[in-house]
Amino acid sequence: MELEIEIKNYRCFPDSKPSKIRIGNGFVALIGVNNSGKSSLLRFFYEFRSIFDNSAQNQLTNLADPLAGRGHWGGAPFLGVKDPFEVFHKKNDRDINLGIRVLRDSNHAEPPSGSIAQISLTFDRGTRAVKFADVPGHITQQQRQSISIGSSPAQGPFLQIPGRPPMSISYLVEAFRELADTVYLGPFRNAINVAAGQDYFDIRVGQAFITEWRRRKTGGSIAENEAIKQLEDNIRRIFDFDTLEINASDDNTILKVFVNNRSFRLDELGAGLAQFIFVLANAAIRRPSFILIDEPEENLHPSLQIDFLTTLASYAKFGVVFGTHSIGLARAVADRIYSLRRVADGESEIRDYEATPQLAEFLGELSFSGYKELGFSKVLLVEGSTDVTAFQQMLRHYHKDHEVVILQMGGSSLINAGAQRQLMEIKRICDRILAVIDSEKDGADAPIGQSRLAFKSACETEGIGCHILERRATENYFPDGAVKTAIGANFSALGPYERLNEHSPSWGKSENWRIAREMTADELAATDLGQALKRF
């Protein structure tokens, strides 16, 4: 599902500057300096989780009573909050208002008419209970007093307003269910201690985690055994180890880690590796709808940051929302970026990050000179943000994912002869550059557009390689098996020149990296795209 969430008078977001974001498949980045509201916004999903869960589990009573004005919606207190008053904005005395709107369902379709796909909830500052809820459309007071909620096998849960046809609320129930199914990974993960007796937000640590690890690795479930082995393989590959095995001690008090056939206690290893193990293992065990993580770059040098995020996202059903200080990381990975800034004491504002820096400027944000010291030696130019994560998965087959910085050009706006000046600037920073762009051809014999040919000519003038795909676009290279494994058996591969938006069922481009992850090396190598990446 793609959801729009607006919240007013929560922590540093007053009703004069509410927080409004969209989440769904793919990556959402929140960028800003310290104390700008990033962590507060991520914690919102954690603190309200019990309310979302209560809504999903008891929808037949939880929605009807507030709508009908029949008292308060009890619900559980805010999760992880000692004093419930602390979640309310400090500079006014008004209640929290939460709006949830379903923009698209899990099949990327807009909710049909006759269904209720948005709701507004008000949380009373004094009682912390929902004292009022509203849905679109005028409801008279008399109608409100007689509202009821029912359910049928064919229609699912529905709202019955006197004098109106039943209105499905299944989209709202599913939205609450997805919002309840989240994992929040807080900052300061370098403080994670395997011997700790208390979990760190949603990161289970200590003996409970070790016992769970041992059960899943050695228990009777083959699926759980293989999932743990896959997790170990992911960590081994990311850190470029020859071998890696993680075992619980016989008394379930410590984790023993075998790295390149040498034995270590987990507390003997660096914070970066410990973070990977705890964070990825907890995500793999939970497999939530959404993963919320604060500062994913913490304890990781740049060559691992994108790999960490995409590996983490592989354990989420839908998407990852992350807060970061790094504009470069946000622009390299995120499908949607929001910037946050502090405007006054205890008050922040959020807005879309729409400014697209020049390519050379973006390389400066990425601190490319620092990347070179860590083994990066090449720049790969691709069309959009969804291509960044997809190409990163493909480069893994050639063991180049940690030596190539992948830079998106912001869509087709720069793919023309006018890009030559920016290409000249990039060449001053790095001289090993390849651009891969779509052909956008509708058939094998169709001509390539003049703007794309002009862009290739500009690249050649600057000594930059440019490969125009033989097929229409990146998603036309995905084999059927990879599509089905990544997003479902009812989906199928595109033809070589078929448009994604004309294929049925279609998928969002934010899913492309998941499909690319499932491609085999042989499938990729059999294409012009694979050969271009191999030669680079």
pLDDT exceeds cutoff 90 at 133 = no
Whether residue 482 contacts residue 519, with contact meaning beta carbons closer than 8 Å, is answered with: yes
For residue range 452-483, what is the model confidence (pLDDT) as tens digits?
Answer: 999 999 999 999 999 999 999 999 999 999 99
Q: What is the pLDDT of residue 374?
A: 45
409-453 pLDDT, tens digit per residue, is 877 778 888 888 888 878 877 789 999 999 999 999 999 999 999
Q: Is 417 exposed, middle or buried (0-12, 13-18, 19+ CB in 10 A)?
A: middle
Give the C-alpha separation, 294 to 321, whole Å. 9
518, pLDDT greater than 90: yes
* Predicted local distance difference test score (pLDDT) of residue 212: 87
- Average pLDDT of the chain to the nearest whole number: 85
Q: Which residues pair with 348 in a beta bridge?
A: 342
Of the chain, the percentage scoring pLDDT greater than 90 comes to 40
**Model's pTM, two decimal places?**
0.79
Burial per residue of 177-204, b for 16 or more beta-carbon CB atoms within 10 angstroms, e otherwise: bbbbbbbbbbbebeebebeeeeebbbbb
Bridge partner residues of 119 (DSSP): 100
DSSP three-state, residue 298: coil
pLDDT tens, position by position, 174-190: 899 999 999 999 876 65
**pLDDT for residue 66 is more than 70:** no
CA nearest to 418, candidates 463, 379, 461, 377: 461
Tell the burial category of 456 from Cβ atoms under 10 Å away from its Cβ (0-12, 13-18, 19+). buried
Least confident of 30-39, 104-113, 460-469: 104-113
Q: What is the Cα 435 distance to its own chain's centre?
A: 26
Mapped onto helix, strand or coil, the DSSP state of residue 14 is coil
- Which DSSP string do the residues of 381-438 spell out, in sequence order? EESSHHHHHHHHHHHHTTT-TTTEEEEE--GGGG-SGGGHHHHHHHHHH-S-EEEEE-
DSSP secondary structure letter of residue 200: B
Domain ranges of the chain: 2-25+36-181, 185-351, 359-535
What integer pLDDT is reported at residue 278 of this predicted model? 81
- CATH topology for 185-351? Rossmann fold (3.40.50)
pLDDT band at 335 (very low <50, low <70, confident <90, very high): confident
Task: Please write the tens of the pLDDT for every residue from 140-163.
Answer: 777 777 777 777 887 788 888 888
- Helix, strand and coil in the chain, % to nearest 5: 40, 20, 40
pLDDT at 76 over 60: no
The pLDDT tens digits for 248-270 are: 988 888 889 999 989 998 878 77
What's residue 129's pLDDT? 73
255-259 and 244-248 as β-strands: parallel, antiparallel, unpaired?
antiparallel
Per-residue buried b or exposed e for 280-299, using 16+ beta carbons within 10 Å of the residue's own CB: bbbbbbbebbbbbbbbbbbb
